[in-house]
């Protein structure tokens, strides 16, 4: 009888763990990927700091293009990959945000491998936080899925499983991709924008 109770309890624990797991992934997928072109609407503006333009110019936006180059082809050969690296899941997983996403992970249009490592690889899927009023409120943004990246965000890709790995200095790397909001605007963008419009600028 005692052992029966234990088995039943054990079964219940397994059930609740399984259910727990399912709930967690459902909660994760509540937020969908929208793609950098959607962030561009607001984050290409000079007033907010043109994060989109900075991303476009730095390496992440062209991470897919890198897979089309000579070096990538020889790196892939060394790894025993037979087809082109631009089609190899083993390479795409770090070189393109789109690569890891299924139809249920995106809001409307699927993301494109060609857009490389996009905003949401670091900031989390944007469907929940993309509205201006949400974005302007730090706590609300976090609750709606926004990630403020830290070193762990980077080392998902910048680690020794990268075939061209030469090390990673977080402080240096963060400086290189800096796309800060200007100090006089940070936290009050909507007001500043309104004031500018009222002045007719
Ligand atoms: C989804 C994978 C991924 C994540 C996450 C990621 N990176 Fe990268 N990063 C890459 C790839 C791939 C390249 C190579 C791009 C190229 O040149 O093709 C790269 C290149 C870079 C470069 C050199 C090119 C440049 O833009 O100047 C820096 C610096 C960098 N990453 C910093 C970071 C930092 C800081 C983080 C975390 C906040 C981070 N990365 C997160 C994949 C990633
Ligand atoms: C674990 C994540 C990861 C995987 C998997 C990965 N890369 Fe990368 N790749 C990076 C990062 C991060 C960088 C930029 C920094 C570096 O070189 O480590 C990069 C840079 C590169 C570069 C530019 C290096 C240079 O010196 O110019 C090439 C080429 C490249 N990767 C090819 C590939 C190929 C081909 C594959 C598949 C066989 C692949 N990568 C798989 C993360 C990855
Ligand atoms: C490789 C990772 C990575 C990518 C890609 C990336 N960001 Fe960021 N972003 C960061 C990091 C790191 C910070 C600084 C976080 C901090 O200081 O705590 C940041 C901060 C920001 C900030 C806040 C700046 C401030 O002054 O508070 C904005 C806005 C932003 N990113 C927008 C974007 C947009 C829009 C894109 C795409 C066009 C993008 N980011 C792509 C890593 C990334
Ligand atoms: C409708 C306009 C709009 C869109 C679309 C948008 N943002 Fe924002 N974003 C803002 C505004 C406004 C702020 C707040 C600026 C301020 O007052 O500091 C902001 C702030 C941020 C911050 C800093 C948040 C904080 O609390 O420190 C990040 C990071 C960010 N956006 C990333 C993104 C990313 C990534 C996307 C696309 C997935 C995106 N945004 C789409 C308008 C937008």
pLDDT of residue 4: 45
d(CA 142, CA 126): 11
User: How far, in Å, from the CA of 41 to the mean position of ligand 4?
Assistant: 10
Ligand nearest to the CA of 129: 4
**In this structure, are residues 108 and 120 in contact, taking their beta carbons and an 8 Å threshold?**
no
| C-alpha–C-alpha distance, residues 54 and 12, integer Å | 52
Q: Is 86 helix (H, G, I), strand (E, B) or coil?
A: helix
Q: What is the pLDDT of residue 90?
A: 96
Contacts of 124 (CB under 8 A, 6+ apart): 31, 145, 146, 147
Q: 29 falls in which pLDDT band (50, 70, 90)? A: low
Mutate to test the pocket of ligand 4, among 40, 108, 127, 135 (most ligand atoms within 8 A of CB): 135
User: Which two structure tokens, joined as six digits, stand for 135?
Assistant: 């974005």
Q: pLDDT digits over 76-88, tens only?
A: 999 999 999 999 9
pLDDT surpassing 50 at residue 25: no
Q: How far apart are CA 167 and CA 183, in angstroms?
A: 31
Ligand 1 atom with the smallest distance to the CA of 170 is: 35
Q: Phi, psi (5° rounding) for residue 29? A: -80, 5
Mean pLDDT of the residues in the chain: 88
Give yes or no for residue 186 CB within 6 A of ligand 4: yes
Instruction: Determine the residue of 44, 45, 51, 60 to mutate for testing ligand 3's pocket, defined as the one with the most ligand atoms within 8 A of the Cβ atom.
Output: 51
CATH 1.10.10.60 fits 32-162+171-198, yes or no: no
The reported pLDDT for the residue numbered 11 is 43
Ramachandran region, residue 83 (left: φ > 0; alpha: ψ -120 to 50; beta: rest): beta
Q: How far is the CA of 60 from the centre of ligand 1 (A)?
A: 5
Which of 33-37, 125-129, 146-150, 195-199 shows the lowest mean pLDDT across its residues?
A: 195-199
Task: Give the global pTM.
Answer: 0.92
Report the pLDDT value the prediction gives residue 5, as an integer from 0 to 100: 45
Q: Is the pLDDT of residue 164 over 50?
A: yes
In ligand 4, the atom with minimum distance to the C-alpha of 186 is: 18
| Dihedral angle computed from the Cα positions of residues 37, 41, 47 and 52, in that order, rounded to the nearest 10 degrees | 0
**Is residue 57 within 8 Å of 116, Cβ to Cβ?**
no
Return all residues near 15 (Cβ < 8 A) that are at least 6 apart. Answer: none
Q: CA 138, CA 195: separation in Å to the nearest integer?
A: 21
Ligand index nearest the alpha carbon of residue 81 = 2
């Amino acid at each position: 009888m005692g052992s029966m109770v234990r088995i039943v309890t054990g079964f219940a624990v397994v059930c609740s763990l399984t259910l727990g797991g399912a709930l967690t992934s459902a909660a994760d997928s509540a937020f969908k990927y929208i793609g950098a072109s959607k962030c561009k609407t607001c984050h290409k503006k000079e007033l907010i700091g043109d994060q989109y333009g900075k991303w476009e110019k730095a390496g992440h936006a062209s991470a897919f293009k890198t897979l089309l180059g000579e070096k990538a082809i020889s790196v892939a050969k060394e790894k025993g990959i037979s087809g082109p690296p631009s089609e190899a899941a083993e390479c795409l997983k770090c070189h393109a945000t789109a690569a890891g996403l299924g139809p249920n992970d995106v809001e409307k249009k699927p993301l494109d491998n060609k857009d490389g490592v996009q905003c949401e690889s670091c900031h989390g899927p944007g469907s929940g936080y993309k509205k201006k009023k949400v974005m302007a409120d730090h706590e609300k943004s976090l609750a709606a899925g926004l990630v403020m990246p830290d070193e762990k965000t980077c080392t998902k890709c910048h680690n020794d499983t990268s075939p061209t790995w030469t090390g990673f200095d977080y402080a240096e790397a963060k400086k290189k991709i800096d796309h800060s909001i200007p100090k006089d605007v940070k936290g009050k963008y909507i007001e500043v924008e309104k004031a500018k419009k009222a002045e007719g600028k």
